Amino acid sequence: MYSNLVIEHFTNPRNVGVIEDADGVGRVGNPVCGDMMEIFIKVEAGRIVDAKFRTFGCGAAIATSSIATEMVKGQTIEEVLRLTRKDVADALGGLPAHKMHCSNLAVDGLRAALHDYFSKHPELLPAGVRLEDLAPPPEDASTEEA
Amino acid sequence: MAIDLEKGVYLDHAATTPVDQRVVEAMLPFWTERYGNPSSIYRLGRDAAKALNSARERIAGILRADPSEIIFTSCGTESDNLAIRGAAFAQRARGKGNHIITSSVEHHAVGHTVEQLVKKFGFEATFLPVDHYGMVSPDEVARAIRPDTVLITIMYANNEVGTIQPIAEIGRIAKERGIPFHTDAVQAGGALSLDVNALNVDLLSLSAHKFYGPKGVGLLYARKGTPLWPMQTGGSQERNRRAGTENVAFAVGMATALELAYAELEQTNNRVRALRDRLIAGVLERIPDVELTGHPTQRLPNSASFVVKYVEGEAMLLSLDMKGIFASSGSACTSMSLSPSHVLTAMGFPPEIAHGSLRLTLGKGNTEEEIDYVLDVLPEIISRLRAMSPLYQPAA
């Protein structure tokens, strides 16, 4: 059901924890679906210099949190904003179809963390990006397909 | 005795059981030597018919039923479908009405069958609530009965939480009102009494692979006179109640498995119950924020089920699997659906708690060493997942 890479990231997740003095914090998830995620970012000169997460969820939820925080470390904010759920799943060697939506929260979490960051520093918002576009999706967004 | 981690520690006997070697041996001749069709009139066919009828008689003996009341099917699900749809249609055709009473914690083989009768065939249904232990109240069954009630179907023991329902009492109420009563006894087979008269049931479903028989064979007990339309039509096998060439090997296997289970019932139950109690006590003692689900005493002897707060079920199962332990969960993430177990939901557990369900069901092959091994590794697994969980606030 899961790729070896998913199992590897589930077994040895990278970047678990909390950044106490984070520049941005994102909280996304859906208790009905059973996945909830908190993501913490440090931003310096337009780049993510650190990212950590805490996730309540299945193997896929934990593995996507782990790999996504790995992927964005060192990326510019523009690069992070281009990241898709599919990019995260592809980096793990794919996810089972029914896990693509509910358990693949990391991109939403990162955008929510950026929303938090730019709420505090609206002057740093890149040209062409609106703050409301980064707002976390409504909580029930992922149950629509159920 | 050391634990064989290559083989694994199998704690999912509610899902299925290994076939007993004695059952395998009893079945073997019926594929290559005694392979006749029981409907054929020559010696080879008569031999198969004899074996089939002997299997039927042996099973009837354990159920205290007449052999003619045993219908062989392909599985427990088919038995449930035949019982419910077969009785509902037959009753309605007789002008008895179109109302069905069931519970909110049934296996999907029952629940989805009743739902389909409601959505597609114009029946009405009452899904009775359960208490926090998953127990149906006989009083509520009595109150739900209407003049147009044609069938009551309540499971004997729950597959997720092990709670045993007061079947004999519900059956007595149904009998007084003259309403056919079906019980899905799939999870109870091989553990609890199947005396259909003591249980006051008219229809009872069983599946062989839950009691060390093969997968792919089940039975429906149908009391003489119970209205029942066949759901599979064709030849006149099974007294016109279930068409199709009988699977003689599997029928023999099921009869052998059932006989062995009931010959060894007390000894197996006592042994398994002791191991199960050790497991439950150990889990509750070693892991904080864990609750036993299901009834504390009125439960299957092999069933240990919990909700583990702040962690998700599938993550627990994956972690246990890596340690060679095979377990189960009612978590949505272990299925294709997004909602957690309907059983735990009906018992009043909120979704975020129900997602942390863990079911460990023991069998006759489990050992004390295996249970102690689980008790060694499970606390670490849960600590690790809780450390990752945003829901978990460790006590200061």
* Structural domains of chain B, with CATH: 9-18+265-387 (3.90.1150.10), 21-263 (3.40.640.10)
Residue B321, CA distances (Å) to A93, B10, B383 in order: 21, 10, 16
**pLDDT confidence of residue B336:** 65
From the CB of residue B296, how many other CB atoms can be counted at a distance below 10 Å? Answer: 9
Q: Which helix (H) or strand (E) holds A65?
A: helix A59-72
> How long is chain A?
146
Looking at B185-297, which runs of residues are DSSP E strands? 203-207, 218-222, 290-292
Distance separating alpha carbons of residues B55 and B212, to the nearest angstrom: 16
- Among A2, A7, A143, the residue with its CB nearest the CB of B338 is A143
Per-residue pLDDT for A145 more than 60?
no
Distance separating alpha carbons of residues B328 and B305, to the nearest angstrom: 9
Confidence of residue A146 (pLDDT cuts 50, 70, 90): very low
Q: Could you tell me how far CA A12 lies from the centroid of its own chain?
A: 18
Chain A nearest-CA distance from B162, in A, is 24
pLDDT in tens, A22-77: 999 999 987 677 889 999 999 999 999 999 999 999 999 999 999 999 999 999 99
Which of B75, B74, B70 has the alpha carbon at shortest distance from B57? B70
ipTM: 0.89
User: Is residue A33 flagged as an active site residue?
Assistant: yes
Residue B54, CA distances (Å) to B43, B51, B205, B251, B293 in order: 16, 5, 20, 10, 41
Question: Thinking of the domain A4-128, which architecture would CATH place it in?
Answer: Alpha-Beta Complex (3.90)
Per-residue pLDDT for A142 more than 50?
no
* pLDDT of chain B, 396 residues: tens digit per residue: 578 888 899 999 999 999 999 999 999 999 999 999 999 999 999 999 999 999 999 999 999 999 999 999 999 999 999 999 999 999 999 999 999 999 999 999 999 999 999 999 999 999 999 999 999 999 999 999 999 999 999 999 999 999 999 999 999 999 999 999 999 999 999 999 999 999 999 999 999 999 999 999 999 999 999 999 999 999 999 999 999 999 999 999 999 999 999 999 999 999 999 999 999 999 999 999 999 999 999 999 999 999 999 999 999 999 999 999 999 997 666 666 667 899 999 999 998 899 999 999 999 999 999 999 999 999 999 999 999 999 987 765
**pLDDT confidence of residue A127:** 84
Conformation bin of residue A84: beta by default, left when phi > 0, alpha when psi is -120 to 50: beta
Q: Please tell me if residue B321 touches chain A, with a CB cutoff of 8 Å.
A: no
Which of A143, A72, A74 has the alpha carbon at shortest distance from A111? A72
DSSP 8-class letter at B335:
S
Distance separating alpha carbons of residues B35 and B44, to the nearest angstrom: 7
Confidence of residue A79 (pLDDT cuts 50, 70, 90): very high
Distance separating alpha carbons of residues B105 and B22, to the nearest angstrom: 34
Distance separating alpha carbons of residues B384 and B76, to the nearest angstrom: 38
Query: Do residues A96 and A72 make contact, with C-beta atoms less than 8 angstroms apart?
Result: no
Chain B nearest-CA distance from A127, in A, is 33
Enter the tokens of residue B140. Answer: 């509520």
Query: Do residues B381 and B300 make contact, with C-beta atoms less than 8 angstroms apart?
Result: no
DSSP 8-class letter at A131:
G
DSSP 8-class letter at B196:
T
**pLDDT confidence of residue A29:** 87
Which of B180, B179, B177, B199 has the alpha carbon at shortest distance from B188? B199
Tell me the chain B residues in contact with residue A60 when contact means C-beta distances shorter than 8 Å.
333
SS3 B122: coil
Average confidence (pLDDT) over A90-110: 87
**pLDDT confidence of residue B59:** 98
Q: State the residue for tokens 């899904």.
A: B127
Q: Do A102 and B338 touch (CB under 8 A)?
A: yes
Average pLDDT score, chain A: 89
**pLDDT confidence of residue A140:** 45
Chain A nearest-CA distance from B31, in A, is 34
In chain A, which residue's Cα lies nearest the Cα of B331? Answer: A34
